[in-house]
Amino acid sequence: MAAGSEKTTGAEKAQSNRPRLRADAERNRARVLNAARELFAERGAEVSMDEVARRAEVGIGTLYRHFPTKEAMVIAAGQQRFGEILTYYRTVCRDSAEPLQALHLLLTRIAEVESRDRGFATAVTEGSLGSEGPRSPLREDLEAELMALIGKGQEGGSIRQDMASVDILSLTCGLTSIVHRRSGDWRRYIDIMLDGLKSQAA
């Protein structure tokens, strides 16, 4: 590949924009995020910074050095979870022979994560799957992946020609709403959604 021709992903841009930390500082940051996610999943948005520091077994000063506000911590935790979903798609779903099967795997994973973390979902303010907030680099990466997947399905004749990646993200909003509100069977929702994405030929 010619010099300068490599494509930088949104996730790589986000990583390069964050100052590089010493190994011990990086471990502390990870402990804080893991503790925050656990507590938010257990109790929702009312968790305090002091509680997160105690669960992470770090000093409150250490926590504030990494996350000066609770909002910053919540956003970072949401982005971490989003990144895990994106990694799952790339390692498990993307190379599926059938694009609709890849989507089924991805949507099922999203619903399982949201079901486990209902309390956390109430605290996330930006960057979650199905969010209508500002686009994050990870969300841009997922949109690019979905565009490629949908194009593959349309070329192969399994996905209807009028579908776009933003349609999938909008449908994901409905999925996460069903999970959070417990207003229906999310597995049935996924089946109906995917049936609607099929081309007439399929």
pLDDT single digits (tens) 14-55? 555 555 557 888 899 999 999 999 998 888 778 899 999 999
The residues spanned by each domain of the chain are: 22-68, 78-202
* pLDDT, position 6: 46
| Per-residue pLDDT at 186 exceeds 90 | yes
Q: Does domain 78-202 have CATH number 3.40.50.2300?
A: no
Query: What is the Cα–Cα distance from 32 to 56, expressed in whole angstroms?
Result: 5
Query: What is the Cα–Cα distance from 179 to 171, expressed in whole angstroms?
Result: 13
* pLDDT, position 20: 59
141: tokens are 């990466």
Q: Does domain 22-68 have CATH number 1.10.10.60?
A: yes
Query: What is the Cα–Cα distance from 126 to 129, expressed in whole angstroms?
Result: 9
Over the stretch 87-112, which tens digit does the pLDDT of each residue have?
999 999 988 879 999 999 999 999 99
